[in-house]
Structure 1
Amino acid sequence: MEEHTIFPREEKTEILFQKILADPWACEKLQETFYNYSLDDEETDNSFSPEEFSSALFASYRNRDLSAFLMVICQNTMFDLLRNACLVPYRFDADGQKNPVIMTEKDGNLLPEYEKYVHEKDFQHFREVYRKLGNDKNMYFAQAYRYSHTYGEQNMEVEQRILERNHGVLLIRELPDTVKKKETEAEAYAAVWDLMAELEKNLPMAFVFYGQDSLVENNERYDEIGIFLPNSHFLKNLERHVAKAEAIIYGREW
């Protein structure tokens, strides 16, 4: 039987899944996220006609495609659930959509095209922290969003669905060489999992981004991690939150 999975099936996921299963906090986050989306009756009951629901359900069974099945019942793929439970990072610019959107230059000044989209109070708070930390490298004011995948209402094509959009502070840092040696995305997630779990346990509601060979410096490419601190959760004591994120990344006391 020929298989037609909607998303390429992730390879070599076992180490990542073992890490999640070994951490009660992670298992609780995953279960909570699944129930939150699958029990949202107003969202799911009105998404598809009975015929569309049945067609998608049977196709996912026929092709042994768990992500297709999950999109029917909770509008998330397998890895959407892991991302939205904060157990794996979001990919930089996933699905060809710019995310996060960096709104400042490296010197901390706001790019002109974003002036009308930014609250002055939020940006000035960022500038104060930027100056205090003396951090003139890879710290930005940005916009980022959480997302999942679902079927389009008109044609049942897979679409990215924005769940939450925020302005905040984005830190971008190079990852250790051990992550670069991993072949698949799932392996890379497993390699960076301990770091991400510590970030999420200490900075809940932060967005963590990951990119393979996406950071370019001096004509060299590096794996990178991005920590996005939304203003809605981190505006108060922002300086302390930024310092905490930095300490976790580099294994320092804070």
Structure 2
Amino acid sequence: MATIFPREERAEALFGEILKNPEACRRLMDTFNDSLDMADVLDAPTVSAQQFAAALFNAYENKDLSAFLMAICQHSMFDLLRNAALIPFKFNADGQPNPVILTDDAGVLLPNNKFAVSSKVYDRFIRVFQKQEKVKMYLASGYCKYHGYDEGSMDVVEYHYNQHLGLLLIYELPDTVKQKVTEAEAYSTVWDIQMRLQHALPRSVVYYGQDTLKDGGTRYDELGVFLPLEHFADRLERHMETATKIVYGE
């Protein structure tokens, strides 16, 4: 049988970066330990003893670690890495917009937004909005997510939490698909950026997309830095400058 999620190919370089970084290992372990209680905190369904056993045996038979992790901590393998801020969230994973962009390239609110944007929030965004060649800016709504099992059917269910309005900065990076680089390998290439962002801008969220940005007929990878306004509204301009310097190694 196939694994529940497609297996990430050539992930060894990424795992190697994590293993040689004590702080990264600690964050991964802390995220796992915290997730053991997530069902109670986030009102996620709990699995029965029979469902637990089925998930355990399925994981053994199919060499599928995520199948078992979802039964005990409501996270797949890569959910843990993302929620520990060790790898980026994937832009619009599984066809679901994340982050949801709320403004156009000129900074104007898009019509028919399903998210309420107060005049105070929009004014804060407009004060820092700039049209630049190196970075695109949007007001957006982003969230974290994890996966678990439906209590009745044992189907895989996706859960969202920590949804915030914030400033999304999008940067162009070389197209790794042309270089025949896997997604996991691409994450390892931006490892230093991810770690530096977490040190300088804790609670920022990093997004990544392979071959997802088109500019003038040329395709690029895109890296997004999401700054939730709840945490970064003060001195937002300085936080933007910090993110840009880190991404471009300035």
Regarding TM over 0.5, the answer is: yes
1:160 to 155, 158, 161: 158
In the TM superposition, what are the counterparts of 1:194-205 in structure 2 within 5 Å? 194-205=192-203
How big is the alpha-carbon RMSD for the aligned residues of Structure 1 and Structure 2? 2.0
Map of 1:112 onto structure 2: 111
> Is residue 60 from structure 1 mapped to residue 55 from structure 2 by the alignment?
no
Map of 2:48 onto structure 1: 49
Distance 1:45 1:127 in 2: 37
Structure 2 SS opposite 1:213: strand
The letter of the residue matching 1:71 is: M
1:182 Cα shift? 4.5
1:180 Cα shift? 5.4
Distance 1:249 1:232 in 2: 22
CA-to-aligned-CA distance 1:101-128 (integer Å, 9 cap, x gap) = 1100111111121286112211110110
Structure 1 SS opposite 2:160: strand
Distance 1:179 1:193 in 2: 18
The TM-score normalised by the length of structure 1 is 0.91
Stretch of structure 1 that moved more, 229-238 or 106-115: 106-115
CA-to-aligned-CA distance 1:64-97 (integer Å, 9 cap, x gap) = 1101111011011111100000000011101111
Taking a change above 3 Å as real, the CA distance of residues 181 and 103 of structure 1, as seen in their structure-2 partners, is: same
Runs of 4+, deviation exceeding 3 Å = 43-46, 133-137, 176-180
The letter of the residue matching 2:54 is: S
Map of 2:2 onto structure 1: 4
> Is residue 230 from structure 1 mapped to residue 240 from structure 2 by the alignment?
no
Taking a change above 3 Å as real, the CA distance of residues 112 and 250 of structure 1, as seen in their structure-2 partners, is: same
In the TM superposition, what are the counterparts of 1:66-85 in structure 2 within 5 Å? 66-85=65-84
Structure whose residues are more often helix by fraction = 1
Unaligned 5+ segments in structure 1 are: none
Structure 1 SS opposite 2:190: helix
Structure 2 SS opposite 1:6: coil
1:54 Cα shift? 1.8
The TM-score normalised by the length of structure 2 is 0.92
Map of 1:31 onto structure 2: 29
